[in-house]
Chain A
Amino acid sequence: MNSTLYSLIGLAAGVAFILALKGLSHPKTARRGNLIGAFGATVATLAVFFYGAPLNNLGWIVGAIAVGLVIGVPAARKVEMTQMPQLVALFNGVGGGAAALVAIVEYLNLGAQATTAEVIFTVFTVVVGCVSFSGSIITFMKLQELMTTRPVVFPGGRFVIAATLAATLGVSVWVVVALGTTPLLVLAVLSLIFGVLFVLPVGGADVPIVISLLNAFTGLTVAASGYVLSSTLLIIAGTLVGASGTILTRLMAEAMGRSLFGTLFGAFTAKPQEASGSAEERPVRSGSADDVAILLNYARRVVIVPGFGLAVAQAQHTVRELADLMLSKGIDVAYGIHPVAGRMPGHMNVLLAEANVPYDQLAEMDEVNPTFGQTDVAIVIGANDVVNPAAQTTPGCPIYGMPILEVNNAANIIFLKRSMRPGFAGIENELLYDPKTMLLFGDAKASLTKVVSALKAL
């Protein structure tokens, strides 16, 4: 294959990626957009094989791709939709790791022939790629709840981070000036440590924003390695992801009412929260499935607020059954979907769509909030932070400023909860103690099944 044809194929793949992102921005074209992207990536990969034919180490290369396929495809196929955000985080991390490795190998390969510009781009790729890799691993562990979801802050934390950052920058200069393998490896290790320190102070609810940011970072590393490898395709693809990822990060932060700065550094500036130990002994009103059914039976309008707990209990189908039953009784039913219900923006829509909940019953936050005043019953299923009025009333709490679903305006509130444990952000919810709130403890699916049969009997 001659180099003109190879470049043209690379350009076509770049165009495919633009069309992919464009398609992914609209519900009707999203799936097609993704397939166009996959097609572009496949063609670009095959083109390298033909362009360089015969490739050195061909057997090894094909073998490594096979290993990647054997790991990646089943992981993507089998993951529960509830755990999908952490898988995306992990995929992003390995991409950053791959970019860093590519830069290191090219650096070793070029040796003393590397131009200063190439070394600078290599340093950038190694630093940002390693930060993206280790940072994504931490976000994965937070989402998988392998570690605490609360912000991790230790005394002097900000100085340690500042020192690590300064050391990373210092070693970067060292690599550019001295050109050697050892400084580059030191740099990689420092960057990995910085990635961990960078993500640790981020609270659980803000993790999706960080994943999106790291995604944009990885895009930029791919663009930088494109420069070192003289690949226009990598420059285009990486820059596209870097730019769109930056916009997406900002949109997400806006949807959650957070500033990017507050997300990343909020844990250092927030005032320590007062202990909420006494709160747990306060009385709450808990009810039975029959009480809930009676309340629902005489309601005219019911809003269901689904949260991550619903998805964990795999109760999407049961909640749909309950909604259908209420509709057949002439009760007006809507689902109030918070932009970040679940673990990521749009996550809940995916989970409910999986359970065949009709699209027209899903109401976005801005649409449903003004209607809570005319709502007889709001049923909150496995959600907590997204209805917590502390976001509007308690300055300094980690979710302050986040827009919430104002279920506190409804005439009655029912919480289906497993326990009094606070939500993902780890904040006490005053609404649980409100006199118009009734709690139904237990697994969401089991509780809903009981409510459905009680309601049928009425």
Chain B
Amino acid sequence: MDAMAIISIFVLAVFVGFEVVSKVSSTLHTPLMSGANAIHGVILVGAIIVADHSKTNLELGLSLAAIVLATINMVGGFVVTDRMLEMFKPKKNDSSKGGE
């Protein structure tokens, strides 16, 4: 990939990252951090690529360790975020007070 394209992607992604989370209430800080944490688990893709072209046992061993860790990060991250957010779903409250 040519350097200019990479720099463009990088800079645009930085600004998108800044924009999407700039106004978030403190209630959601923890789930948002946890969700972002799960997203970087996509390093799993990188771990699979290096495992595919590993030439020695050392390389394969290290890349398999990376796959295990990345899977824990990605899948565990999304699951625990979902559990947190499950708590926020609207309640079917019989004694709804309709607070404004």
Contact = CB atoms under 8 A, between A and B. Distances in A.
B59 A27 contact: no
B26 A345 contact: yes
Interface string A268-279: 000000000000
A4 to B, nearest CB: 14
Contact of B52 (A33, A61, A76): A61
Given A65-B67, A101-B63, A226 B88 contact: no
Interface string A21-38: 110111100110111011
Max chain A C-beta neighbours (<10 A), residue from B38, B40, B66: B40
A31 B89 contact: yes
B45 A45 contact: yes
Contacts of A172: none
B42 A233 contact: yes
B40 A30 contact: no
A75 B76 contact: yes
For the residues of B in contact with A, the DSSP-based class is helix
Contact of B67 (A64, A76, A233, A238): A64
A246 B20 CA distance: 12
Nearest to B58: A108
A104 B56 CA distance: 13
B9 interface: yes
Contact of A88 (B47, B65, B67, B80): B80
Interface in B67-100: 67-89, 91, 93, 97, 99
Contacts of B40: 92, 95, 99, 215, 218-219, 222, 237-238, 241
Given A34-B85, A76-B79, A347-B30, A215 B36 contact: yes
A349 B13 CA distance: 31
Contacts of A227: 6
Given A102-B46, A231-B45, 9 more contacts: A17-B42, A34-B82, A75-B72, A88-B80, A105-B54, A108-B58, A241-B17, A242-B14, A251-B24
9 contacts: A24-B28, A24-B81, A41-B41, A44-B45, A91-B37, A98-B70, A109-B53, A345-B27, A356-B93
Interface of A: 13, 17-18, 20-22, 24-27, 30-31, 33-35, 37-38, 40-41, 44-45, 48-49, 52, 55-57, 60-61, 63-65, 67-69, 71-73, 75-77, 79, 81, 84-85, 87-88, 91-92, 94-95, 97-99, 101-102, 104-106, 108-109, 117, 208, 211-212, 215, 218-219, 221-223, 225-227, 229-248, 251-252, 255, 339, 344-347, 349-350, 353-354, 356, 358-361, 364
